[in-house]
Amino acid sequence: MLYFIAIKAEKGNPVLPQIRNVTEEELAAQRAVMARVAEENAARSAQPLAWVDTYGCQQNESDSEKLRGMLREMGYAFTEQEAEADLIVVNTCAVRGHAELRALGNVGALSHTKRAKPEQKIVLCGCMVQQEHMREKIKNSFPYVDLVFGTNELWRFPELLERMLAPHRGRIFEARQIDGERFEGLPVERAGSVRAWLPIMSGCNNFCSYCVVPYVRGRERSRRPEDILAEARQLIGDGYKEIFLLGQNVNSYGRDLDGGEDFAWLLKEINAMEGEFFIRFMTSHPKDATERLFDTMAACEKVERHIHLPFQSGNDRVLRAMNRGYTGEIYRKKVAYARSLMPDVALTSDVIVGFPGETDGEFEDTVRLVEDLRFDMLFTFLYSPRVGTPAASLPDPFTKEEKQKRFDRLLQVQNRISLELQAAHVGNVYRILIDGEGDRPGQLTARSSHNRLIHLEGSPALVGTFRDAAITGSNSYSLSAELRDKEGD
Ligand code: SAH
Ligand code: SF4
């Protein structure tokens, strides 16, 4: 019912989503719980170990950094060995059936580790368990899971954990069905030292007909600009070299705020901060990608020369059925405008193959769009029905095999294009950010402003620095490069 109201609100009904700010008292109560749990953990003979396992998108990665931050504050250290963990937290994804199956498979395997270590506690959280049918499944089929909490309970994790740790409490299931809450100030334990996730908003109001996100992440709500800018300043001060702004639809940032700030404004403000760093962002919905956004990207030298602009389908009937709010022609015009301002801009996209009722002819429109626009990279997904979404009840006469055939064909087309575009980088010199060590000793990984993955040789001391590098080779997913200046090598 809540979602019905929200959809009507999107179409002009005066009923507005009920977004609440979590109060300072509520957060203080969570901090008090963290202090209590930390005290108990400090009294144990050995420091307890936690393992946080994350599925899905960058938003989930960012939420896991908050889970780790709270766990650290509660006296936990971390391990990646599930057998030795006292506490396992699985942060799940629901966007496609495959992600759910993988998470469930791994939770199934945890029954063995728990048998070997009966005092071990298992926690499931995130998008998958925000869905009622999934909580029922866990209740019935995974009796050894101790605590399950949905996306709306993230800031209440300390309180839920303390309840779980209390003796003879039984299993806990918590997932409020609300439009959403805003909160600030949870501790964060960041996974990397070069790239930092910076969520600028949560939720989504778009209700694309195939997508579960609006149902599991609630209504769109933007963080206050001053909180985002303070966090960006802090990250840059701490030495992060890539600020990655996150939201399901970053282009609608600020619509729910009073101040008139929008995403382009935010990009400009962060771009003006001192220091050498990249600003990246994800995801841009084409219907909200305005000329103002592209103008701003072009004017801001720290903003990546890359835009991830998911088109989902090249056919107008399918786009309408998906409730995407643009046509193939509008999408092409936006890309043409972006390329007129930034001829070297990298374009990546998401596409769904086999939306219910998509015909061979309609799929051909997608292939044509891919051939015409020549994406640098394409994330190709087979349509996966999601419980409760409108598309899941549409008739679909096409078989899995037919869809797989189309999928393979599109992949082939894209692989050829990726190879050609990648090869065109060879011989160019780019300013690259060295962001990690590669698989082999002496190998480093880096990114250009076009978000190309680059491999090169060099000392680990170079990680976290910007360097000029000449591109010397390519394959369909990465480039190889040589440093121009060997300083620091
Ligand atoms: N907010 C982002 C994307 C979120 S989900 C956006 O609107 O672009 C990431 C991608 O997963 C989507 O772009 C879409 O291509 C894919 N996806 C979402 N739901 C899906 C489903 N039910 N089946 C297959 N792919 C799906
Ligand atoms: Fe899902 Fe559409 Fe929202 Fe993206 S914009 S999260 S695809 S509903």
Q: What is the pLDDT of residues 198-208, one digit of tens each?
A: 999 999 999 99
β-pairing, 172-174 vs 49-54, is unpaired
Distance of CA 218 from the midpoint of ligand 2 (Å): 11
Ligand 1, residues at Cβ distance < 6 Å: 95-96, 210-211, 213, 248-249, 283, 285, 310, 312, 350, 352, 381, 383-384, 386
Distance of CA 96 from the midpoint of ligand 1 (Å): 8
Nearest CA to ligand 1 atom 8: 310
Of 16, 442, 451, 222, which is closest to residue 8 (Cα–Cα)? 16
Strand arrangement, sheet containing 77-78: 77-78, 49-54, 87-92, 121-126, 147-149, 172-174
- The rounded radius of gyration (Å) of the Cα atoms in the chain is 23
Write phi, then psi, for 253 (nearest 5 degrees). Answer: -55, 135
* pLDDT on residue 16: 80
Residues 332-376 have pLDDT tens digits of: 999 999 999 999 999 999 999 999 999 999 999 999 999 999 999
Nearest CA to ligand 2 atom 2: 208
Which ranges of the chain have pLDDT less than 50?
Answer: 1-13, 488-489
- List CB contacts of 119: < 8 A, sequence separation 6 or more: 86
Tally of CB atoms within 10 A around 171: 14
* pLDDT on residue 38: 98
Distance of CA 383 from the midpoint of ligand 1 (Å): 9
Q: Minimum-distance ligand to the CA of 385?
A: 1
- List CB contacts of 135: < 8 A, sequence separation 6 or more: 129, 148, 173, 175
* pLDDT on residue 169: 73
Q: Which of 95, 252, 285, 414 to mutate to test the pocket of ligand 1 (most atoms within 8 A of CB)?
A: 95
Q: Which of 127, 249, 252, 311 to mutate to test the pocket of ligand 2 (most atoms within 8 A of CB)?
A: 249
Nearest CA to ligand 2 atom 1: 211
Distance of CA 95 from the midpoint of ligand 2 (Å): 10
Where would I find the beta strands (DSSP E) of 45-139? Answer: 49-54, 77-78, 87-92, 121-126
* pLDDT on residue 14: 53
* pLDDT on residue 19: 94
* pLDDT on residue 170: 87
* pLDDT on residue 71: 98
Nearest CA to ligand 1 atom 14: 350
Ligand 2, residues at Cβ distance < 6 Å: 204, 206-208, 211, 213-214, 248-249, 285
List domains and CATH numbers for the chain. 21-181 (3.40.50.12160), 192-304 (3.30.750.210), 328-421 (3.30.750.200), 429-483 (2.40.50.140)
Where would I find the beta strands (DSSP E) of 101-249? Answer: 121-126, 147-149, 172-174, 180-182, 195-199, 201-202, 221-222, 242-246
β-pairing, 172-174 vs 147-149, is parallel
* pLDDT on residue 486: 62
The answer to whether 270 and 229 have CB atoms below 8 angstroms apart is yes
